[in-house]
Chain A
Amino acid sequence: MRERLGRLALRFYPSSFRDDHGGELLGTLLEAGEMSTAAFAAQLISVLLAGVAARCRRALTQPMRWLVLQTVVWAAVVSLARAFLYLVVMQLPHGAPESLQPILTGYVGPALILVLFTAGRGRAAGTIGLAWAADTVLEAHSNPTEYLSLGLQGVLLPALGFAVMLYRPRRALTGGRSLWILPAGAFAIWWLLGGQAGPLPLLLPILIALPLSGLFPAFALGTTLSWSVIGAWILIQFGGHADHVPLELLSTTPLTLLIFALARRLIDDQ
């Protein structure tokens, strides 16, 4: 039982550490916790916390260039997931589109991209993503009213991320690739429950992503960047009449950067 718990606790460490030191750490843990259940529990907790800290250290001290690439990718994926899940919960219940084009652009394309990204197929996701972005821009061009501005803010950032996925798939893809479901899902569930536009549905996804800044900094930064773009768009569209907290949304990216810098400093000091 103790060995099983120990092996479970080891899962909190990065895999490279487990490969190098997992066996001996488990041996030391069992030896140090031999005296009593309380002693074992205390040792086990120390291993759990150290494992999470090791993961955070690894994520936070990676080269800045990789972090920037991964942030752009996450911003693209979160933006796409948000748009996709919004369509699924708000439009699909009223009936699927009758023609093939909106089905492909609104549902099939985004779903395929998200599945490929989650499965770690970055190059394939990037290729289909760029095709999707091009198609969306063409669609917007033929219908140049509100859809153009909406489409562009929803397409430019994803297109940049898909381009990164296509050209640097190994660097672009990080762990926790299914995390996009958290912010996008929170946003969709809010609408599904009949929520009205206001501060909470827009800020809730960020509040979910921020605590993960240590473990998945690119995910947290990408999510806030994605929502900051929405903030910029609202500000441009509605100016001083906006009641959808654009400034709060815009401020989330600098806030996440500040948290990231502080966490990195903390890791350096240890």
Chain B
Amino acid sequence: MEFRPPSYYVLAALVDGPLHGYAIMQRAATLSDGAVRVSTGTLYSVLERALSEQLVVCGDPYVVGGRERRDYVLTPAGRDVLQAETDRLARAARVVGARLRATAQEVI
């Protein structure tokens, strides 16, 4: 699964526990400080892909306020993939951050 920002934050939204579709969208926006707003169409594309790759599983549908919902849960495999991607991003940030700091003094 390729991690574009929406995919990353959708999976990240499930780290703390199961959430239904709209709650995932809200949580993704919160985690990214509002930088990533996942639309309904994108959310279900990401979830369908994650389901097929067994990164998440979904529970049975239930109804709240006349609207159908279904909770999604991050699997251990999904958690591993998310951890690997987080490490990769952190490594990249460390390397680039170090280079920026080193060259900042040269520029001044």
Contacts and interface: CB of A to CB of B under 8 A. Distances in A.
Q: Real complex partners, A and B?
A: yes
A28 B40 CA distance: 7
Contacts of A21: 44, 47-48, 70
Interface string A231-242: 000000000000
A83 to B, nearest CB: 42
A269 B1 CA distance: 9
Nearest to B49: A270
B39 A26 contact: no
Nearest to B21: A28
A53 B41 CA distance: 10
Given A24-B20, A27-B21, A54 B40 contact: no
Interface stretch (B10-18, B61-69, B100-108): B61-69
B30 to A, nearest CB: 15
B9 to A, nearest CB: 15
Contacts of A42: 39
A48 interface: yes
A53 B45 contact: yes
B33 interface: no
Contact of B42 (A29, A33, A46, A48): A46
A24 B69 contact: yes
A31 B45 CA distance: 18
B97 to A, nearest CB: 28
Nearest to B67: A27
Interface string B38-63: 01111111011000000000000100
A254 B25 CA distance: 42
A30 B22 CA distance: 9
Contacts of A30: 67
A31 B67 contact: yes
Contacts of B61: 23-24
Nearest to A45: B41
Which has the most chain A C-beta neighbours within 10 Å: B39, B40, B48? B40
B48 A51 contact: no
B45 A25 contact: no
Interface string A10-41: 00000001000101111111111100000000
Interface string A245-270: 00000000000000000000000011
Contact of B22 (A17, A32, A54): A32
A17 B25 contact: no
Contacts of B21: 24-25, 27-28, 31
A47 interface: yes
Which has the most chain B C-beta neighbours within 10 Å: A25, A27, A269? A27
A50 interface: yes
A181 to B, nearest CB: 30
A50 B48 CA distance: 11
A5 interface: no
14 contacts: A21-B44, A23-B61, A24-B21, A24-B68, A27-B21, A27-B69, A28-B20, A32-B40, A43-B39, A47-B39, A47-B41, A49-B41, A53-B45, A54-B45
Given A21-B48, A28-B43, 8 more contacts: A24-B70, A29-B40, A31-B22, A45-B41, A46-B42, A48-B41, A50-B40, A50-B41
